[in-house]
Structure 1
Amino acid sequence: MKIDFLTLFPEMFDGVLNHSILKRAQDKSLLQVHTHNFRDYANNKHNQVDDYPFGGGQGMVLKPEPMFNALEHIEQTAESRVILMCPQGRPFSQEIAQELSESDHLVFICGHYEGYDERIREHLVTDEISMGDYVLTGGELPAMVMTDAIVRLLPGVLGNQQSHEDDSFQDGLLEFPQYTRPRNYNDMEVPEVLLSGNHAHIDAWRHEQKLIRTWEKRPDLLEHYDLSDNDKKILENHKKQLKNK
């Protein structure tokens, strides 16, 4: 995968891109990343990238020329995804991360100031994505978060491909509880089923825990999850146990 970042602050990406999973992906030649300061593509002597909005209003708006010029400089294909980090976009999710991980080329436009000239949105962008219902100073942090979520899904990036398959949200549920040594810590025991060696029982317990944890912490996720009859029975039994406590 190739990822290009259009930003006024390319140095912000150095720490994130050069450590941990993202660095490992680059070392394995599974990922190429490039940062571009779109100020370098401004066609005026002061390299100005923003201006006052027509019609008046607060703040400054990013000009179209630097973005158009920068994207002309970046080699793209018909399948390239140009992503505008924008609070008006669709909320980022694990499903979107999976979708974008199947692309060969992503371009993130990281804006600043009050907003973008609308012609950038209309003529350059394929996707508008938001990190949530709040506003940040710029698009750099959301682009980094999205990149981490996307790249870890690429085949070969994680040591064990199944690692991300058990993640929260991957199948619509939250992840099951995890335990490691010691078996007993301050009289707090590891569930016996995990020590049984019976993988069918362990899988069943983990699925049950995922259902219960999702119902307790994020019940909204269950509205979009296809509960089986056994799933419904598990949740009903759990609710009864809570009432009887």
Structure 2
Amino acid sequence: MMKIDILTLFPEMFSGVLGNSILKKAADKNAVSYNIVNFRDFADNKHQTVDDYPYGGGAGMVLKPQPIFDAVESLKEKHGGNASRVILLCPQGERYDQRKAEELAKEQHLILICGHYEGYDERIREYLVTDEISIGDYVLTGGELGAMVVIDSIVRLLPGVLGSEESHLRDSFSTGLLEHPHYTRPAVFRGMKVPDILLSGNHRLIEEWREKESLRRTYLRRPDLLEKISLSPKQEKWLNEIKKQYN
């Protein structure tokens, strides 16, 4: 079972997210356990202060190293001293993607640190964390929303969490391409028809259609992704056909 510890100053933000839908079902199935820790509880002063003014002056407050170091070390000790990935949510981190989610889904213990204020004392980055993650090139008021995104993307990959083990294998980005279009009943809705091939019952042709449409969607919406993957000769042929249709 994967264990996820979340260090935050606002524990109540996570109750709705972790207590519903797939994330709750994953915990009910014992695929994962969540532990939310208010790292203010680890402050070494009676006022439970976790931030201070930055050396050298400047706007905003900086999170102090002591409460976060003590909290992380305590969580590692409870985990038996085994290897843990300590993840800092911050705008300066590595851009998060499906590859990173798949990598982290193989771990046994994750500790996510959600910051606030102007930033973190640099010693937290340098000596405590193993990964710095950013969910996009923008700034949020804190790391909580980013942590929720990371947790959701990881937990759905754990064995037995989704209804079908094949579900996430076809997801956008899992194959390097965007996912193909989906349709369901009715076959005709307000004059709009489902592609005939999907009603044919020919599974080989359906799989071929899906693969080709995945290529088409990627070419039209995220052509940059095509530069990062190796296509088979068949996919190269399809891609050339697709390009001719739009040039």
TM-score category of the 2 structures, normalised to the smaller one? over 0.9
Shift of 1:185: 0.9
Q: Does 1:202 align with 2:203?
A: no
Number of the residue aligned with 2:22: 21
Unaligned runs of 5+ in 1: none
Number of the residue aligned with 1:86: 90
Unaligned runs of 5+ in 2: none
Secondary structure at the counterpart of residue 239 of structure 1: helix
RMSD: 1.0
Amino acid at match of 1:164: H
Runs of 4+ with deviation above 4 angstroms: none
Residues 132-167 of structure 1, C-alpha deviation per residue, up to 9 Å, x if partnerless? 111111000000000000000000001111111111
Measure the CA separation in 2 of the matches of 1:187 and 1:25. Answer: 40
Alignment of 1:44-83 (within 5 A): 44-74=45-75, 75-76=78-79, 77-83=81-87
- TM-score, with normalisation over the residues of structure 2? 0.96
Shift of 1:103: 0.2
Q: Does 1:35 align with 2:36?
A: yes
Q: Does 1:167 align with 2:181?
A: no
Measure the CA separation in 2 of the matches of 1:39 and 1:28. Answer: 31
Shift of 1:177: 0.5
Amino acid at match of 1:36: V
Number of the residue aligned with 1:184: 188
Shift of 1:89: 1.0
Count of aligned positions: 243
Measure the CA separation in 1 of the matches of 2:55 and 2:244. Answer: 62
Amino acid at match of 1:79: A
Residues 14-65 of structure 1, C-alpha deviation per residue, up to 9 Å, x if partnerless? 0000000000011111111000101111001111100000111110000011
Shift of 1:227: 1.6
> What is the identity percentage for the equivalent residue pairs of Structure 1 and Structure 2?
62
Secondary structure at the counterpart of residue 166 of structure 2: helix
Shift of 1:72: 2.3
Number of the residue aligned with 2:235: 231
